[in-house]
A and B are shown apart, each in its own frame.
Chain A
Amino acid sequence: MTAKRSFTILPFAVLALTAATLADAAAPPSVTATIAARQANFKKMGKAMKILSDQLKSSAPSQPAMYGAAQVIASNARRQGRMFPLGTGPGSGVETEALPAIWTDKADFDAKMRQLVNESTKLVAVTKAGNAAAIGAQLKATGGTCGACHRKYRAEDE
């Protein structure tokens, strides 16, 4: 009698346990994918920034290389604003350096994202023209908007 009862309970117990484990260990696939995608975008932007600063160190910077890199930065910048939906912060259980302040101070975060879009759009324009001094100045301005946002909304990277 006792044995039979425990057998009937077992499937439900297993189901409940599995559900609890899933909820604990893995955020919804969409959250994981969103965080992975925005991190990949940021990494592309970082590499493109390095291409620009590498070229500017050279005595004969390559205009096509800089123009291409600027386009990578600008196109990803426009995408990134939508990559921070509610629930994709550190509370999601997925490893992320995004700080909760992004969602508590969303208006400021969005404004900073718009600044990045503006400055990176200008960066595309100056790299198209190809004047190294102007590109250097605009690269600094664009990097400034990256840094301003990172200092406030990203966990310190060691």
Chain B
Amino acid sequence: MAEAQARVPGPIRVWDLPVRLFHWLIVGLFAFSWWSGENHDMDWHRWSGYAVLALLVFRLYWGFAGTSTARFAAFVRGPGAALTYARSLAQRPYVAKVGHNPIGGWSVMLMLAALVVQVAAGLFAVDVDGIESGPLSDYVSFETGRAAAKLHHLVFNIALAVVAVHIAAIMVYRFWLKTDLITPMITGKRQSASLPPDAAAAAVGLGLSWRALVGVAAAAAVAYAISVGFRF
């Protein structure tokens, strides 16, 4: 099957459906959280945060249970691999990877970490008036809640910076390395002509297995439990 694909030039699936859905839902919810926060629309801001929380739980699970390009083990690499990869960027034509490259992998982990801290801080945050608060804020003092809110502001700015670097990197690949990263993240597929000859063997499935169902159920359950502050 893989050998047959290798001989046929054409598109190869490099991202499964859950990875792509996660990515674009996070894009939308990140923007919506920003907008609702700026407009003091805190009911919507909380709902958006719970959705981000569920997505993060799913993605962390999918990093162990997903298809090969979704797994942390496949793309979290050491500094040596990142350095070797950085040197390979000078070669022309640039040959794309199936999955995250060793530097992109770190960028993914950095964005995930920023979002995890951001959501965690929001859960405990209290506004200066004591009116609006996260669902776990009653487990902490007013002062701790204020500290969480300040962290929530700080990490948002860090997250914005990381997103800016992410978008800048996509532009560099697009215009300098002539590699389109956006289309594969939408369709899941990349033309095998722009990939190494043995890429077809690394192609991934759609990812819609029972494992995905388990992940969705677990993510929904965890997000629900936290959103009600573990009061059932």
**Residues of A bordering B, CB below 8 Å:** 45-51, 53-54, 57-59, 143, 146-147, 150-151, 157-158
* Residue contact A48 to B130, C-beta cutoff 8 Å: yes
* Residue contact B153 to A59, C-beta cutoff 8 Å: no
* Residue contact A59 to B231, C-beta cutoff 8 Å: yes
With a cutoff of 8 Å between Cβ atoms, the chain A residues found around residue B130 in the complex are: 45-51, 53
* Residue contact A46 to B142, C-beta cutoff 8 Å: yes
**Residues of B bordering A, CB below 8 Å:** 40, 126, 128-133, 135, 137-138, 142, 145, 150, 153, 229, 231
* Residue contact B40 to A50, C-beta cutoff 8 Å: no
- Which residue of chain A lies nearest to B143 when distances are taken between CB atoms in the complex? A47
Given A57-B231, A58-B231, A147-B40, A49:B138 Cβ within 8 A = no
Closest Cβ of chain A: how far from B34's Cβ, in Å? 14
**Apart from A50-B130, A57-B138, 8 more pairs, CB < 8 Å:** A45-B130, A49-B129, A49-B131, A50-B145, A53-B130, A53-B133, A57-B229, A143-B129
CA distance A48 to B126 in the complex (A): 12
Question: Max chain A CB contacts within 10 Å: which of B131, B133, B145?
Answer: B131
In the assembled complex, 22 residue pairs joining A and B whose CB atoms fall closer than 8 Å, in A order, are: A45-B130, A46-B128, A46-B129, A46-B130, A47-B142, A49-B131, A50-B130, A50-B133, A53-B131, A53-B138, A54-B138, A57-B229, A58-B138, A58-B231, A59-B231, A143-B131, A146-B129, A147-B131, A151-B40, A157-B128, A158-B150, A158-B153
Closest Cβ of chain A: how far from B150's Cβ, in Å? 8
Given A47-B142, A50-B142, A57:B135 Cβ within 8 A = yes
Closest Cβ of chain B: how far from A143's Cβ, in Å? 4
CA distance A58 to B229 in the complex (A): 9
CA distance A31 to B169 in the complex (A): 53
With a cutoff of 8 Å between Cβ atoms, the chain B residues found around residue A58 in the complex are: 138, 231
With a cutoff of 8 Å between Cβ atoms, the chain B residues found around residue A51 in the complex are: 130
Cross-interface CB contact of B137 among A48, A54, A150, A158, cutoff 8 Å? A54
* Residue contact A50 to B137, C-beta cutoff 8 Å: yes
Cross-interface CB contact of B129 among A54, A57, A150, cutoff 8 Å? A150
- Which residue of chain A lies nearest to B136 when distances are taken between CB atoms in the complex? A57
CA distance A158 to B151 in the complex (A): 10
- Which residue of chain A lies nearest to B229 when distances are taken between CB atoms in the complex? A57
- Which residue of chain B lies nearest to A146 when distances are taken between CB atoms in the complex? B129
Question: Max chain B CB contacts within 10 Å: which of A54, A58, A59?
Answer: A54
* Residue contact B138 to A147, C-beta cutoff 8 Å: no
Given A54-B138, A57-B135, A58-B138, A147:B129 Cβ within 8 A = yes
CA distance A86 to B135 in the complex (A): 40
With a cutoff of 8 Å between Cβ atoms, the chain B residues found around residue A158 in the complex are: 150, 153
With a cutoff of 8 Å between Cβ atoms, the chain B residues found around residue A57 in the complex are: 135, 138, 229, 231
With a cutoff of 8 Å between Cβ atoms, the chain A residues found around residue B138 in the complex are: 50, 53-54, 57-58
CA distance A158 to B154 in the complex (A): 9
Closest Cβ of chain A: how far from B181's Cβ, in Å? 34
CA distance A51 to B126 in the complex (A): 11
- Which residue of chain A lies nearest to B126 when distances are taken between CB atoms in the complex? A50
- Which residue of chain A lies nearest to B133 when distances are taken between CB atoms in the complex? A53
- Which residue of chain A lies nearest to B139 when distances are taken between CB atoms in the complex? A54
CA distance A48 to B129 in the complex (A): 9
Question: Max chain A CB contacts within 10 Å: which of B129, B130, B137, B145?
Answer: B130
Closest Cβ of chain B: how far from A158's Cβ, in Å? 6
CA distance A146 to B126 in the complex (A): 15
CA distance A158 to B131 in the complex (A): 16
With a cutoff of 8 Å between Cβ atoms, the chain A residues found around residue B129 in the complex are: 45-46, 49, 143, 146-147, 150
